Structure 1
Amino acid sequence: MKYRNRVAVVTGAGSGIGRALTIALAADGARVAASDIDAAGLAATSAACAPGSVATYHLDVADRAAVRAHAEQVRADLGPASMLFNNAGVDLMAEIESMEPADLDWLFGINFGGVVNGTTAFLPQLIEAGSADRPARLINLSSAFGLIAVPAQGAYCASKFAVRGLTETLRQEMIMNDRPVTVHCVHPGVVKTNFGKNMRTSAEDAEVARTLFDKAALTTPERTARTILRGVDRGKARILVGPDGRIAAALPRLLGVSYTTLLARGSRVTSRRRTANPPSVEERNPL
């Protein structure tokens, strides 16, 4: 069991990628501190793991004081963390000219603030727990949209570009200061989770937007978790998940900034087709 005696911290563990990571880590011997703001989801995650392998914590990652208190509670309950997965995240589908400031603040508080809060709260423990032959691991979830920008996802893209910048800087600092912590940035494409159902949107038809998100999902949470853990074990600085994650990494390399024109034109065509052929009742309300 390769993660035996590891204390692994996973935020957003009540569903999706966070749940899949928690289950995989627990199955491989880790003692997992799983947190989420969704108590029912956390209970379901815990129930899917072996008894005693997961400790659950109600946590709002946007609350800096709460995250710092959480770090100390994890240390008291399980010992110093040696793996940290800053996974919790939310989405906002809105064009920038119609975006509500309160929605932007909400998203940034979780997507970027949550990563900053988790990183700074647990980093001292990771440095303490790591060693040259068994370094601690710090894993931040960015997105394919942390590599490219797309229309109607301005706030989300900005937050995930920020996560990427923070993570890549921290990786350099850990190397520069000879810290026993490896740092990894994860860029998943669209994953089959309840992420779309929970997004905020200013789109005229929110159900259509969420249906489109669900149709775009190409990768399961379980496969995503396996890809992340394999990338971490191999020491990859950038972990790409799914074919859309790999395409997002390739577009700027191949096209430079002109990829934005290509995506804008494609989005305009798609929008016109959708307007001319609105989805059926079944598509709006999938079983």
Structure 2
Amino acid sequence: MSYYDGKGVVITGAGSGIGRALAVELSARGARLALSDRNGDALAATARRCGPSSGDLRTDVVDVTDRPAVMSYADSVAGDLEPVDVVFSVAGVLHTGSVLASSFVDVEEVFAVNYWGVVNTTKAFLPHVTKAEHGHIVTISSVFGLMTAPRYSAYCASKFAVRAFTESLRQEMIIDRKPVSVTCVYPGGIRTPIMRNGLFAAGEDRTAVTNSFDRVVARTSPERAATRILRGVERRRARVLVGADARVIGGLLRGLGDAYPHVIPSLARLTRILRGSAPG
């Protein structure tokens, strides 16, 4: 029997990428699912992918930035699933652009989805999860929640915030002896549409950045990421690194410590020099 068989599982951002892969895998493992996304068509496609093995499955169009809607949704889902065993807060948006070029509107949108979406979801579902015998809250940060990178200041800041929020929550659950485990996931480059659907500051070459991400960075499939995440949750890990790149970066950061911010600009300058001297 699967660890997830019969468990009530909530997934926000289930319309694509990691959220969809988690939904399909958990459906196959016998979980009772409540899936949400702000894109109704994408959510319906996920439900179809779950197929005839899905059993108990409900789908709702919910925007995680809409706090009253999330609170109402949580109460409704709790009435259906009872108990809510695991909540995956997956919804996220990527932003590319320098601080100077980035608009306040885009930065606020990144925080509304990436950070406040996690806070809204966690706050809405935590009272219900604490009623489960062994509840679990799972948030998605990023390898950019472990390190910063130029031109991704808003995204990095939001994912660092997710990391801090999640680690504090885990400490509280331990101190208060609540029956809730807390896991923060740090994906590296995953083959999802997050870059194609992302926000771009003025002057950014969307096509070039997206092609580079798809060709060079996105090395791990969503399905493989989902498998690793579910294994980490089953083992009640505090931190799950997804992808070889994330594990390598995690090791480098342990070695470099506070020196890593000084290394990044040097690498960027070297990359520009090499590109400038390359033939063609």
Which interval holds the TM-score relative to the shorter structure? over 0.9
One-letter amino acid matched to 1:4: D
In the alignment, is the contact (CA less than 8 A) between 1:33 and 1:56 conserved in 2? yes
Q: Percent identity?
A: 44
Shift of 1:213: 1.4
Distance 1:52 1:101, change over 3 A: same
Give the secondary-structure state (helix, strand or coil) at the position aligned to 2:10: strand
The within-5 A match list for 1:258-273 is 258-271=259-272, 273=274
One-letter amino acid matched to 2:176: N
The within-5 A match list for 1:36-185 is 36-49=37-50, 50-129=53-132, 131=133, 135-185=134-184
In the alignment, is the contact (CA less than 8 A) between 1:145 and 1:160 conserved in 2? yes
Shift of 1:71: 0.2
One-letter amino acid matched to 1:57: D
One-letter amino acid matched to 1:180: P
The within-5 A match list for 1:176-255 is 176-202=175-201, 203-215=203-215, 216-255=217-256
Shift of 1:244: 1.3
Shift of 1:205: 1.4
List per-residue Cα deviations over 1:184-204 (Å, max 9, x = no partner).
010000100111101111243
List per-residue Cα deviations over 1:185-237 (Å, max 9, x = no partner).
10000100111101111243111111111121110000000000001111210
Give the secondary-structure state (helix, strand or coil) at the position aligned to 2:6: coil
Shift of 1:252: 2.3
In the alignment, is the contact (CA less than 8 A) between 1:2 and 1:29 conserved in 2? no
One-letter amino acid matched to 1:236: R
For structure 2, the residue ranges without an aligned partner over 5 or more in a row are: none
Give the secondary-structure state (helix, strand or coil) at the position aligned to 2:178: coil
Shift of 1:261: 2.0
Distance 1:248 1:113, change over 3 A: same
Q: Distance in 2 between matches of 1:105 and 1:66?
A: 19
Q: Distance in 2 between matches of 1:278 and 1:171?
A: 52
List per-residue Cα deviations over 1:35-74 (Å, max 9, x = no partner).
1011111111101112543211101001111110110111
One-letter amino acid matched to 2:102: M
Give the secondary-structure state (helix, strand or coil) at the position aligned to 1:196: coil
Shift of 1:274: 5.1
Q: Distance in 2 between matches of 1:185 and 1:16?
A: 17
List per-residue Cα deviations over 1:70-129 (Å, max 9, x = no partner).
101112233231100001000000111211100000000000000000000000000011
- Give the CA RMSD over aligned residues: 1.7
In the alignment, is the contact (CA less than 8 A) between 2:7 and 2:32 conserved in 1? yes
Distance 1:81 1:26, change over 3 A: same
Structure 2 partner of 1:24: 25
Q: Distance in 2 between matches of 1:241 and 1:213?
A: 17
One-letter amino acid matched to 1:112: Y
One-letter amino acid matched to 1:115: V
Q: Distance in 2 between matches of 1:254 and 1:51?
A: 44
In the alignment, is the contact (CA less than 8 A) between 2:3 and 2:234 conserved in 1? no
Give the secondary-structure state (helix, strand or coil) at the position aligned to 1:195: coil
State the TM-score, normalized to the length of structure 2: 0.94
State the TM-score, normalized to the length of structure 1: 0.91
One-letter amino acid matched to 1:92: H
Shift of 1:277: 6.7
Distance 1:211 1:272, change over 3 A: farther
